[in-house]
Amino acid sequence: MQALIPTCALVDGALREDVAVLVDGARIAGVVPAGAIPAGAEPRRLDGTLVPGFIDTQVNGGGGVLFNDAPTVEGIAAIGAAHRRFGTTGFLPTLISDDLDVIRRAVAAVDAAIAAGIPGVLGIHVEGPFLNVDRKGIHSAEKIRPLDAEGIAALTGLTRGRTLVTLAPERVAVSDIEQLVAAGVVVAAGHTNARYDQAKAAVAAGMRGVTHLFNAMSPLGSREPGMVGAALDSDALVCGLIVDGHHVNPATLRLALRCKPASGFMLVTDAMPSVGSEASEFVLQGRHITVKDGACRSDDGTLAGSHLDMAAAVRNAVSMLGVDLATAVTMASTSPAALMGLGDRHGRIATGHAADLVLLDAAGWVRETWIGGA
């Protein structure tokens, strides 16, 4: 057993000094005072702040690999390795709108990756194709389709890990949402023109997430609150935030944070292949994408995912949104774990939880990352 003794550690939502985190294999065996390390434990002092590992529920790619182009175990491993450098210890490879055959291949690849022990893979995020074409963003209109029995079968095929599905609630039947939820799928709204009442009906049916709040969704209005209004008005929904200074004005995000507790928000990257790579351009479903000034855009200027990593998202939450480090990490670790139903073993430094940890320096840069104690 190893005793990690950092300068301070984030425990129970607060930064604490003079503590030791006991790691026994892949699990945290306990959190004790630094002066009360049990006999036989190997002490290791760490210069920095130890926090729970970041969990990113929206990872389109990384390390030069796009999941849509490489729905394979090897592709998933490459994406995970690229993001691990930035403190991501758990992630959902994310497939944007594509054919059902590609969805089935992606689900099978994630299943195999988890079985093979690829570090950090917690499941899959299928973003589309059951969206509203009027809010498609960078998604291909040709790929968007209605949800039917064949689609539900494809979305419920994962046997290991968690499945997150982004759909437009106004484009699917309430009974379809209920069926997905009953099968263990976490349903989120995104790329949607839903009215407030349609969004609330989806919440009543079990929808629990909102994909990239404010982007590609019906806005908050004076007489029609839209999807944004429903997201901010419902404590049942956890809203994903892309804090890169490009997707949403920081002032808008600061206003959102005043509407409900930080536990109702989670940081996501929406990362593209450029993260962890030197590439300044890539191709997304036939469209040329350029990476410039920290943003990924198509030739017509449409945002295409992001060039954001989770450590940068945490730093940006502190600098742009004015939250403290503990709150930023809660949104990067605890909130996504809770949304995915993994809060009993991920997202916190606590006894019995996975030893998924990140050591940050004083400026919030990653010094070291552990996944399952390694």
360 marked as binding residue: no
Cis peptide bond prior to 219, omega within 30° of 0: no
Handedness of CA 228, 239, 113, 138 (dihedral sign): positive
Is residue 270 among the annotated active site residues? yes
Report residue 306 CA to chain centroid gap: 13
Q: Is 303 annotated as a binding residue?
A: yes
User: Would the annotation count 132 as a binding residue?
Assistant: no
212 is in an annotated binding site: yes
Contacts 24+ apart (CB under 8 A), 174-182: 174/201, 174/202, 174/204, 174/205, 175/205, 176/147, 176/152, 177/202, 177/205, 177/206, 177/207, 178/205, 178/206, 179/152, 180/152, 180/155, 180/156, 180/206, 181/205, 181/206, 181/207, 182/206
- Choose, from 56, 111, 176, 270, the residue flagged as catalytic: 270
Of 369, 370, 17, 337, which is closest to residue 31 (Cα–Cα)? 17
Q: Is 216 annotated as a binding residue?
A: yes
Partners of 163 in beta bridges: 124
Is 64 part of any known ligand binding site? no
Q: Answer yes or no: is 215 a known binding residue.
A: yes
Q: Is 79 annotated as a binding residue?
A: no
Q: Is 284 annotated as a binding residue?
A: no
**Binding residue ranges for substrate:** 138, 215-216, 223, 247, 303-305
Catalytic residues: 270
Detail the residues annotated as belonging to a binding site for Zn(2+): 127, 191, 212
